[in-house]
């Protein structure tokens, strides 16, 4: 095994992803998905956290005789605890996503914490064309998009998709 793949094979062994390393394969690009995937869940987390804090603070603002405080305190505590655990789970699950480009194939790995492990491998031997999609102005500004491999597989939230597409096309001998 050459020096460029020695670290990559350790990475695959560590993650328990059954992807064989091809002989004479050279790593071209290794990246995570774009950070934009964290924005919407972070906004949801912030809104629900503020609602939970409001419910907890209403416990201290109301009198004990009203009975409302006996409902708002447990509701706020349950809401804060559950949203915090959900967000932590989301962050841990989404941090296990990698896009690997070698000179022979593209591998997309999304390893969930307990379930939902996805692996997409696109070999350049069978691939004839690929497309890059940026459908919104936000994707153009933040430079992320979707790689589409002949409609058979798509990888979303790819940072710098034009650069990655150019590396793939060079590896395929198209450029």
Per the structure, the complete domain to which residue 165 belongs is given by: 3-32+96-172
pLDDT of residue 2: 47
Report phi then psi at 147, rounded to 5: -95, 130
Give the pLDDT confidence of 77-128 residue by residue, as tens digits.
999 999 999 999 888 888 777 888 888 888 888 877 777 778 888 888 888 8
- Cα 19 from chain centre: 19
Do 160 and 102 share a structural domain?
Answer: yes
> What global pTM score does this model have?
0.73
d(CA 98, CA 79): 32
pLDDT for the residue numbered 88: 92
CATH number at residue 147: 2.30.29.30
Q: How is residue 146 annotated by DSSP?
A: E
Residue-level pLDDT at 42: 96
pLDDT for res 13: 42
* 153, containing H or E segment: strand 153-159
The verdict on 109 and 154 lying in the same domain is yes
Binning pLDDT at 50, 70 and 90, where does residue 12 land? very low
Q: Are residues 165 and 101 in the same domain?
A: yes
Per-residue pLDDT at 14:
47
């Amino acid at each position: 095994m050459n020096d460029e793949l020695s670290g990559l094979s350790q990475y695959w062994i560590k993650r328990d992803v059954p992807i064989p390393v091809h002989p004479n394969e050279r790593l071209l690009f290794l990246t995570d998905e774009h950070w934009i995937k964290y924005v919407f869940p972070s906004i949801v987390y912030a809104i629900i956290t503020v609602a939970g804090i409001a419910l907890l603070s209403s416990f201290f603002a109301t009198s004990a005789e009203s009975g409302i405080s006996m409902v708002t305190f447990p509701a706020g505590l349950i809401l804060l605890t559950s949203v915090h655990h959900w967000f932590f789970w989301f962050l841990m699950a989404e941090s296990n996503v990698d896009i690997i480009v070698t000179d022979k194939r593209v591998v997309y790995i999304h390893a969930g914490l307990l379930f939902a492990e996805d692996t997409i491998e696109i070999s350049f031997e069978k691939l004839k064309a690929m497309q890059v999609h940026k459908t919104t102005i936000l994707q153009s500004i933040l430079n992320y998009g979707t790689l589409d491999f002949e409609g058979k597989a798509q990888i979303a939230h790819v940072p710098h998709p034009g650069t990655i597409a150019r590396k793939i096309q060079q590896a395929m001998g198209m450029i």
